C-alpha cells in the first residue's frame, strides 16, 4: 500500500482527519525546511505539502507569492526541493510528502525525468496547479507507474462531469479548493463546503482534502468534520513572514498553530 493510502486508512480506523500543512520549500531559507518538516510531524501532522517556488505563481495570493520570492532569492528550485524531500526521508519513512507547484519547471526537466526524480526522492504525490486532467494524461501515467499519486484540484464551480474525470485520473486524494479565488483569500463558507462535498462524494471514493481559507483552529475543526483532511498554507507562511528576523521564532509559531489545530480537530 502507498504511504498516502496507508495514512488515510489508519486515520479512518482511528476516526481522525488528516492535518496537512503547506509550506514553500526554502522559505525563508533553504536550511529552514527539513527541520520544520520534522517538527511538524512531531506536532501531529499527517501529510506534508511542499510548495515548489515558481517565478509566476498565478493561482497564489500575496502571502504565498512572497514566500516564492523569498525562496527564489536563495535559488530554491524544483531540483533543490526534491533534495529537501530526499533529506527528510533519511529519517522519516512514513509521512507522505506531496509537492505542489506549476508546470513549467516540470516541462523543462522533462516528464519522464521528473517522474523518476520524484519517485527517487521518496515523494508520494504531485499536484500541478496549471495542469488540468485534459492535458495531464502523459504525466499522470508516468507518475502512476512509479506509484506516485497525481493529485487534482476541485473548485466550487466544478461540474459533476469534471469531478468524475478527476476521480478517474487522480489518485491519493482530491484537493477541494473551498473558495473561488487565490490562496490565502477571504474566509470559507462551511455550509457551501458541506453542500459541495456531498456532490463530490457522490462521484468519488478518493479521500477529500479541503484547503484555501483555513486560518485558525476553529475553522480547521469545522472543515475536519466535513472532509477527510484539512490543508493549511497561508496562515503558516504568514508566521514566517511575521518573524523574518528570527526563523526559530517562526518555527515555534507554526508549531503552536498546528498543535492548536490538531487538538481542535481531535476533540
Partner 1 sequence: MTEKYNMPDARGHFGVYGGIFVAETLMPAIEELNTAYQHYMQDADFIAELDKDLQHYVGRPSPLYYAERWSQALGGAQIYLKREDLNHTGSHKINNTVGQALLAKRMGKTRIIAETGAGQHGVATATVAARLGLECVIYMGAVDVARQSLNVYRMKLLGAKVVAVESGSKTLKDALNEALRDWVTNIDNTFYIIGTVAGPHPYPAMVRDFQAILGREARAQCLAQTGKLPSALVACVGGGSNAMGLFYPFIDDAHVKLIGVEAAGDGVETGRHSAPLCAGRPGVLHGNRTYLMSDDDGEIIETHSISAGLDYPGVGPEHAWLKDSGRASYVNITDDEALGGFYALTRMEGIIPALESSHAMAYTLKLAPTMKKDDILIVNLSGRGDKDMQTMAKREGIEL
124 is catalytic: no
Whose CA is closest to 48, among 90, 122, 99?
Answer: 99
Please say which residue, 177 or 230, places its beta carbon nearer to partner 1: 177
DSSP string, 156-220: TT--HHHHHHHHHH--S-EEEE-SSS-TT-S---HHHHHHHHHHHHTT--S-EEEESS--SHHHH
Q: What backbone phi and psi angles, to 5 degrees, belong to 29? A: -150, 160
Does position 153 interact with partner 1 (CB under 8 A)? The reply is yes
- Chosen residue from 7, 24, 33, 65 binding partner 1 by CB under 8 A: 65
Alpha-carbon torsion 198, 192, 177, 44, what sign? negative
Q: Which of 10, 27, 46, 49 is labelled catalytic?
A: 49
Query: Any idea which residue has 514566500 for its cell?
Result: 67
Q: Which residue bears the cell 522533462?
A: 110
Q: Give least dist CB 77 to partner 1, A.
A: 4
Q: Are 28 and 36 in contact (CB under 8 A)?
A: no
**Looking only at residues 68 through 87 of this chain, which bind partner 1 when binding is defined by CB under 8 A?**
69, 72, 77-79
Q: Does 57 sit near partner 1 (CB under 8 A)?
A: yes
For residues 178 to 217, the per-residue mask of contacts with partner 1, x marking binding by CB under 8 A and - elsewhere, is --xxx--x--------------------------------
Residue 263 CB neighbour total at 10 angstroms? 13
CB of 253 to partner 1, least distance (A): 25
Q: Which x/- pattern over 9-28 shows residues binding partner 1 (rule: CB under 8 A)? A: --------------------
Q: Which positions lie near partner 1, rule CB under 8 A?
A: 54-62, 65, 69, 72, 77-79, 102-109, 129-132, 134-135, 152-159, 162, 177, 180-182, 185
Amino acid at each position: 500500500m502507498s504511504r498516502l493510502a496507508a495514512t488515510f486508512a489508519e486515520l479512518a480506523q482511528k476516526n481522525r482527519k488528516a492535518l496537512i500543512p503547506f509550506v514553500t520549500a526554502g522559505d525563508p531559507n533553504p536550511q529552514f525546511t527539513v527541520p520544520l518538516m520534522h517538527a511538524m510531524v512531531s506536532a501531529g501532522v499527517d501529510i506534508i505539502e511542499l510548495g515548489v517556488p515558481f517565478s509566476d505563481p498565478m493561482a497564489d495570493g500575496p502571502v504565498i507569492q512572497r514566500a516564492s520570492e523569498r525562496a527564489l532569492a536563495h535559488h530554491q528550485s524544483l531540483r533543490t526541493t526534491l533534495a529537501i524531500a530526499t533529506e527528510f526521508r533519511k529519517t522519516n519513512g512514513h509521512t507522505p510528502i506531496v509537492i505542489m507547484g506549476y508546470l513549467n519547471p516540470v516541462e523543462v526537466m522533462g516528464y519522464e525525468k521528473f517522474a523518476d526524480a520524484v519517485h527517487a526522492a521518496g515523494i508520494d504525490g504531485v499536484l500541478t496547479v496549471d495542469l488540468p486532467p485534459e492535458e495531464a494524461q502523459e504525466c499522470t501515467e508516468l507518475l502512476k507507474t512509479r506509484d506516485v499519486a497525481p493529485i487534482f484540484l476541485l473548485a466550487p464551480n466544478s461540474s459533476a462531469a469534471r469531478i468524475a474525470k478527476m476521480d478517474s485520473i487522480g489518485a491519493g486524494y482530491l484537493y477541494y479548493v473551498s473558495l473561488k479565488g487565490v490562496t490565502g483569500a477571504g474566509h470559507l463558507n462551511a455550509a457551501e463546503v458541506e453542500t459541495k462535498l456531498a456532490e463530490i462524494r457522490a462521484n468519488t471514493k478518493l479521500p477529500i482534502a479541503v484547503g484555501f481559507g483555513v486560518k485558525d483552529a476553529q475553522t480547521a475543526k469545522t472543515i475536519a468534520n466535513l472532509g477527510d483532511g484539512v490543508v493549511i498554507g497561508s496562515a503558516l507562511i504568514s508566521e514566517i513572514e511575521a518573524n523574518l528576523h528570527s526563523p526559530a521564532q517562526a518555527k515555534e509559531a507554526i508549531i503552536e498553530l498546528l498543535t492548536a489545530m490538531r487538538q481542535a480537530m481531535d476533540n
